[in-house]
Amino acid sequence: MRRFAMIAVPYGWLAVLFLIPFLIVFKISLSDAALAIPPYAPTMKDGFGALLQGLDFENFVFLTTDDLYYKAYLSSLKIAFFSTFFTLLVGYPMAYGMARAPEEWRATLMLLVILPFWTSFLIRVYALIGILSNEGLLNQFLLWLGVISEPLVILNTNIAVYVGIVYTYLPFMILPIYAALDRMDDSLIEAAEDLGCSRMSAFWLVTIPLSKNGIIAGCFLVFIPALGEFVIPSLLGGSGTLMIGKVLFEEFFNNRDWPVASAVAVILLLILIIPIVLFQRNQQKQAEAEG
Amino acid sequence: MIKTLLTGTAAAALLTTSALAEEVRVYNWSDYIDEELLEKFQEETGIKLIYDVFDSNEVLETKMLAGGSGYDVVVPTGTFLQRQITAGAFQKLDPAKLPNLKNMWDVVEKRTVQYDPENAYSINYMWGTTGIGVNVDKVKEALGDDAPIDSLELVMNPDNMAKLAGCGVYFLDAPAEMLPMAMKYLGLNPDSHELEDIEKAEEVMLAIRPYIQKFHSSEYIQALANGDICVAVGWSGDILQARDRAAEAENGVEIAFHAAKEGAQMWFDQMAIPIDAPNVDGAHKFLNFIMDAQNMAAASNYVNYANGNKASQEFLIEDVIGDPAIYPDEATLNNLFTTSPPAPKVQRVITRTWTKIKSGI
């Protein structure tokens, strides 16, 4: 009985906050746009029979008729992939440094990683605008150093989007890798070195494989939200930045077409299910290995 | 638009004087009122006023069509109002509760009936035009002393735009205003919803696209005032704000606004009461308060936009009533055009065209 209750809580949570909203969105994606409150038809008010009859996959077919949508999905995948890669590149050394730092520093270092969360995400992205703009701090600094003679155009380009995503999601990369490295037994490195490994190859042959689960967890935690990211590309990106989150916003607000917007969202979710399932499997394997 | 949307919602202002039982919730455009008026309303009526702001019609419309917004008074622009009335989002006003209706200006009312037949659902708050703001010195430097600063030639002709690109040109990120402007330039009916005409407007925009630095609906105020850009296609009051900011800063930047002589778009922001407003009585009290001649004049004097209130005109300062960019003369007024909302299918083509113009995809 207790076991049942323990399982029921997370599954109940999932059903209420994920499954039911998803079914509602899915239902809207099968409806037609209408000028009414709410702006689609049919609704529950029309009765269940009429509701079922009025639903079709027209909106999904529509998404295949215009290049815009698949280009936006592809472009989002690309941006999410590269930002995950860069976040790993920046995050791993930081996590490694934290795990190697003296015991008494670690709590402070951990606090420093989490500290940005105390400020609103939106304000931090706005701060990046101030740093990256043509008259921004970064350009002024580089001009002062004499490295450049004209300001670099960074804001309103994809580079700014990468900077924004890497900066924002960095803690999600650092924390799981740090957790994996922190648990690692230092004597394994010593053993490797005793057996003739150089420091470098000990790192590649021992440390990296042992932190693999942390790397995988970190990459998924960055990749999944980055794929549907809306705020960062709209604030930092330019008109050439194509991401599915922006397309979804335009369908919803500019075209007022909730059904097509819902269809875009359903497909985005289907794309996300693949990495989410892989992530779950990795977590499970890890739990079994430790269990 | 999106960028400012986030600031708009974040900047929702909450006014509280004391714990009063009755509340009125108003949802208006950002930077669109003299805030002393909000205090005055609370003092006069004893009703607690909750004043939130937005900066995009799309956001307001989404709230209205989702229903249950909790607002008692909202301020959509004409074309949006018309569509929302059709969707059943608003209730008819009760003239018995609005004695100040007598103050309204027939010149404006006879135009707003296009969106709200008989003006049954809304009152005009402010109106203005979409036109061209220039940094006079920089434009003359680029194009010579006879630069056509009051003509669409300036911003729609690729030859002129190529010369202006160096000093910076911003356009509104609003297809509903920019495509009609391109159609007007071609001599077409600016309110055309024909796909053929939209395509022609797209060609005009694509030709000048390489010379447009940015599409944005609010950043141009500051950029123009600072001298960062030399031309902005934008809303009358916003460009006049840029002019005033530059004058206050005494930075030597001289800004001028012109509604294009070929004809400019005229728009109306209308106050209306949502169908599910919690405090309908309070909403009427607020509308009546706003229609008071002195109150309306205070708002216009503050935001540099013309209003639809005839009686308020005697309380307007000369800088507002005497400025033809705000209150156009008869000839200009006859040259202004209005637009109507497109059908959903056409709307989709317009949005798609705009994406193509902005991103090339």
Is 80 exceeded by the pLDDT of residue A111?
A: yes
Q: What is the mean pLDDT of chain A?
A: 89
Q: Three-state DSSP class for B131?
A: strand
pLDDT digits (tens, 9 = 90+) for B3-15: 444 444 444 434 4
- The reply to whether B334 falls in a domain is no
Determine the residue of chain A that is closest to B360 in CA distance. Answer: A240
How far is Cα A276 from Cα A286, in angstroms, rounded to an integer? 15
Q: How far is CA A247 from CA A65, B321, B353, in A?
A: 15, 43, 13
Chain B: closest CA distance from residue A20 (Å): 18
Residue B17 at interface with chain A, using a CB cutoff of 8 Å = no
Is 80 exceeded by the pLDDT of residue A35?
A: yes
- The reply to whether B32 falls in a domain is yes
Candidates A231, A235, A242; nearest CB to B359: A242
Indicate the helix (H) or strand (E) that contains B235: strand B231-235
Determine the residue of chain A that is closest to B59 in CA distance. Answer: A253
Residue B58 at interface with chain A, using a CB cutoff of 8 Å = yes
Q: How far is CA A221 from CA A210, A279, B197, in A?
A: 19, 9, 47
- The reply to whether B333 falls in a domain is no
User: Do B154 and B148 meet the contact criterion of CB atoms below 8 Å apart?
Assistant: yes
Look at B360 and A240 and tell me if their CB atoms are within 8 Å.
Answer: yes
User: Do A275 and A288 meet the contact criterion of CB atoms below 8 Å apart?
Assistant: no
**Residues B86 and B202 reside in one and the same domain:** no
- The reply to whether B111 falls in a domain is yes
Token pair of A132 as six digits? 């990256």
Q: Write out the DSSP string of A124-184.
A: HHHHHHHHHSTTSHHHHHHHHHTS-SS----TTSHHHHHHHHHHHHHHHHHHHHHHHHHHS
Q: How many CB atoms lie within 10 A of CB B274?
A: 25
Chain B: closest CA distance from residue A36 (Å): 4
Q: Where are the beta strands (DSSP E) in B86-199?
A: 122-135, 169-171
pTM score of the predicted model:
0.81
CATH number of the structural domain spanning residue B98: 3.40.190.10
Q: At CA B129, angle to CA B59 and CA B32, rounded to 5?
A: 50
* B121 vs B32: which has the higher pLDDT: B121
- The reply to whether B33 falls in a domain is yes
Q: Which residues of chain A neighbour B67 with C-beta distances below 8 Å?
A: 37-38
For range A223-241, the mean pLDDT: 89
**What's the pLDDT band for B339 if we cut at 50, 70, 90?**
very high
Candidates B56, B86, B361; nearest CB to A242: B361
**Residues B219 and B282 reside in one and the same domain:** no
Q: How many CB atoms lie within 10 A of CB A203?
A: 14
Look at A249 and B67 and tell me if their CB atoms are within 8 Å.
Answer: no
pLDDT for the residue numbered B344: 83
Q: Where are the beta strands (DSSP E) in A38-136?
A: 40-41
pLDDT for the residue numbered A33: 86
Burial B298-334 (b: 16+ CB within 10 A, else e): bbbbbbbbbbbbbbbbebbeeebbebebbbbeeebee
Indicate the helix (H) or strand (E) that contains B24: strand B23-29
pLDDT digits (tens, 9 = 90+) for B296-317: 999 999 988 999 999 999 999 9
Candidates B10, B59, B215; nearest CB to A253: B59
A232 Cα distance to chain centroid: 11
Is 80 exceeded by the pLDDT of residue A289?
A: no
Is 70 exceeded by the pLDDT of residue A124?
A: yes
Determine the residue of chain B that is closest to A236 in CA distance. Answer: B3
User: Do B121 and B156 meet the contact criterion of CB atoms below 8 Å apart?
Assistant: no
Token pair of A46 as six digits? 């029309």
User: Do A125 and A236 meet the contact criterion of CB atoms below 8 Å apart?
Assistant: yes
Is 60 exceeded by the pLDDT of residue A122?
A: yes
Determine the residue of chain A that is closest to B87 in CA distance. Answer: A36
Give the mutation candidate from B54, B55, B349, B359 for the A interface (greatest A CB count, under 10 A): B359
**What's the pLDDT band for B21 if we cut at 50, 70, 90?**
low
Residue B88 at interface with chain A, using a CB cutoff of 8 Å = yes
Residue B61 at interface with chain A, using a CB cutoff of 8 Å = yes
**Residues B211 and B352 reside in one and the same domain:** yes
Look at B355 and A250 and tell me if their CB atoms are within 8 Å.
Answer: yes
Q: Which residues of chain A neighbour B3 with C-beta distances below 8 Å?
A: 234-235
Interface residues on A facing B, Cβ-Cβ cutoff 8 A: 33, 35-39, 66-68, 71, 122, 156, 231, 234-235, 239-242, 246, 249-250, 252-257
How far is Cα B276 from Cα B90, in angstroms, rounded to an integer? 8
Domain count, chain B: 2
Q: Which residues of chain B neighbour A71 with C-beta distances below 8 Å?
A: 361
Give the mutation candidate from B2, B86, B177, B276 for the A interface (greatest A CB count, under 10 A): B2
Give the mutation candidate from A125, A253, A260 for the B interface (greatest B CB count, under 10 A): A253
Question: Hey, which residues does B127 pair with through a beta bridge?
Answer: B268, B306
How far is Cα A25 from Cα A27, in angstroms, rounded to an integer? 5
Give the start-to-end residue ranges of the domains of chain A.
Answer: 1-64, 66-290
Candidates B3, B215, B352; nearest CB to A234: B3
pLDDT digits (tens, 9 = 90+) for B141-180: 999 999 999 999 999 999 999 999 988 899 998 899 999 9
**Residues B100 and B82 reside in one and the same domain:** yes
Domain A66-290 class?
Answer: mainly alpha
**Residues B259 and B354 reside in one and the same domain:** yes
* Domain residue limits at B87: 2-128+267-328
**Residues B46 and B60 reside in one and the same domain:** yes
Look at B2 and A249 and tell me if their CB atoms are within 8 Å.
Answer: yes
pLDDT for the residue numbered B132: 97
pLDDT digits (tens, 9 = 90+) for B248-307: 999 889 999 999 999 999 999 999 999 999 999 999 999 999 999 999 999 999 988 999
User: Do B92 and B298 meet the contact criterion of CB atoms below 8 Å apart?
Assistant: no
**Residues B87 and B30 reside in one and the same domain:** yes
pLDDT for the residue numbered B300: 94
**Residues B180 and B40 reside in one and the same domain:** no
